[in-house]
Amino acid sequence: MYELENVLRPYAWGSTTAISGLLGRPASGGPEAELWIGAHPDSPSVALSPAGAGSTGAHAAVADDGGRLGLDSLIALDPEHHLGSDSVAEFGPRLPFLLKVLAADSPLSLQVHPTLEQARAGFAREEATGVGHKATERNYKDDNHKPEMIFALTPFEALCGFKPASEARAVFDLLVADFELAGLDLPELVPLLLQDLAQPDEHTALQSAFERLIAGGEAVAEATAVIAAALISGAPTAPYQAELSTVVTLNAQYPGDPGVLISLLLNRISLAPGEAVYLPAGNVHAYLHGLGIEVMAASDNVLRGGLTPKFVDVPELLRTVSFAAAGVPKLSPETTMLGQELFRPPFREFQLQRIELESGAGPVPVAQSGAAVIIVVAGSVLLDSPKGELRLERGASAFLPAAEAPVNAHAVSGAAGTAIAFAVTTALKA
């Protein structure tokens, strides 16, 4: 087992206090948006000198003087030992998942992730045309898809997938009524959106409205400004107060951006701590505010649709979006016969385990189908395997090679309070 050092991404939307407060360390003084725990080549974790007699040899031969080695490099030394033969056979010689601690103090970009087929084709196309990997117009950073899930640690606000066209139409109908009540001139865009959303085929209705907004230019920017100003002035918002308040918030940060009104086509969700949702390919979404544990396939492929100064490739975005209205894909935990609390989205690359340990209680087996990573967010946890032990304090994390299973998590004897950790492994045995 290897304790890890992880990369903190300082994106501007990140909280300055949430991640440091969770992990019990001093704040950096700047935004702390994402802590990456995994082997993605853009920001791989660093594996420290191994714990236990079973994790020696090759690591020691290639690590630096401090016993440090990138987790991607460590795995490459012996993929089957570290990942397991089943994982290598299905996903190749790379860790198939990435764990993040995510802290949004302001909204992330409106975005969607491609299917595996789209990612492979898009990556190959951009490689063939010579688009630089760091070029602003690059869409595909790798050839993998990026299904993901988010587990809320605090109240967590988000936009997630399309609502039914009839419900989106009801929101815009309310705007019409509010403008009439206030004696205001209604932007010409709104009746056009109502026509789009009234089409009998729901896929067509949602796609027409989305396309009108994403490609609307000045007409969309002007309508957004008028609607936001009317809402600020006190136009009635019930019964869609959360949705229309979101318009005001988003427009304050991204004035006139198409994503502001696109938000009214999407499900506006509030997760309580302990709740989770999963996001398949094609799901248009944006995290708005909150702290959570995010898990995804090991990819950085994002097609943006607004709420960002970054590049937006509208044609490619439209090829990627799924214009299907669906309920919010909430994910309930499953408790196994071994007492494991598992969140299992319908993806083979990952599942999330929440581990809660009371002092004096028995151990909890770490669910492990191949490799696993684990992070402790409260208390102290002792990991033991047939090949050694590793104690992790609050804020510490570790990589558990497939060859070291089974691993049990124990509350540290004499430690006060409840210990809480999160572990990720593949869902190959699910």
Residues marked as catalytic: 304
Q: Please count the helices (runs of H) and the strands (runs of E) in the chain.
A: 13, 23
Label residue 417 left, alpha or beta by phi (over 0 means left) and psi (-120 to 50 means alpha): left
DSSP letter (8 states) at residue 134: T
57, amino acid identity: G
Strand partners, 410: 382
**What are the structure tokens assigned to 312, written together?**
């937006």
CA R_g for the chain: 23
Report the Cα 269 to chain-centroid distance in Å.
15
Residue reference for tokens 């690590």: 63
Sign of CA dihedral 162, 163, 167, 170: negative
Query: For residue 365, which amino acid is it?
Result: P
| The pair of three-digit structure tokens given for residue 265, joined into one six-digit string | 């086509």
292 bridge partner residues: 102, 152
**Lookup: tokens for 181:** 């009540």
For the chain, the first-to-last Cα distance in angstroms comes to 23
